[in-house]
Structure 1
């Protein structure tokens, strides 16, 4: 007579078979990364216009090319009323040279950009440039907007 063998692995060989576990998933889920990138894009699109200089000035338009600059230049602005601003701080003509000299890390070799409003008095802008030039600054440039 024959002996019956159980078909389910229930015979006592001492070893039990484990169920095959799922293989490790090696794919990256990019959906959260795309969500974060879109949020950052929106934030930068909203914040970028606010990063410009704080003095609202209507710059003249020209076809001149942009000047390359290795360091952050000092910006002097002249608004339509003739008020003078160094970066975003209003100064008088008497304090202009001392303020710019205090900000100039490279002495008189620092680049200075003068932003004059389109409706500002030409004499006011030239007076500012003359004060800076007489103080020894040689790298003075006028800021304009490109023509459309």
Structure 2
């Protein structure tokens, strides 16, 4: 606690406590928090601003994540990061289709290496279609074509 000024030269009075509050540290903290919020607030809002109409429809089921089917440069197939032997892809896809309650099956993201033969990718897409899975999306990266 800060002490007040000493009164007079010869008086033997005690120093009185200073009744002022030092707000400089609090102002510094508040300015830092203000800057942090000003920088992070625009990052929290992503996408194109759109004024959406009202609807009485229920929300879509967003809890079910899509099935990822990947084909690496060697032609090996992975379903959700689990390697599938060559002849067992059809059985695994049929199992996925049978456990789905949606019409057309769950959403499938097909990721294939750019160096693969087109026929290999079409063979996997044929297996997906044969299993009754109709919601297939081909995944690519965003960029310019060479």
TM-score by length of 2: 0.52
CA distance in 1, matches of 2:77, 2:129: 16
Q: How does 1:8-87 map to 2 (within 5 A)?
A: 8=11, 18-23=16-21, 25=23, 26-29=26-29, 30=32, 70=62, 72-87=65-80
Q: Bigger relative contact order, structure 1 or 2, given CA contacts below 8 A and separation 6+?
A: 1
Residue aligning to 1:96: 89
- Structure 2: any 5+ residue segments left out of the alignment? 1-9, 37-61
CA distance in 2, matches of 1:98, 1:18: 87
- Structure 1: any 5+ residue segments left out of the alignment? 1-6, 11-15, 35-69
Q: Does 1:134 align with 2:130?
A: yes
1:80–1:121 CA contact under 8 A, matched in 2: no
CA distance in 2, matches of 1:147, 1:24: 55
CA distance in 2, matches of 1:19, 1:132: 81
- Across the aligned residues of Structure 1 and Structure 2, the Cα RMSD in angstroms comes to 3.5
- Which of the two has higher C-alpha Rg? 1
Equivalences, count: 102
CA distance in 1, matches of 2:67, 2:21: 60
Q: Which runs of 4+ in 1 moved over 3 A?
A: 7-10, 97-108
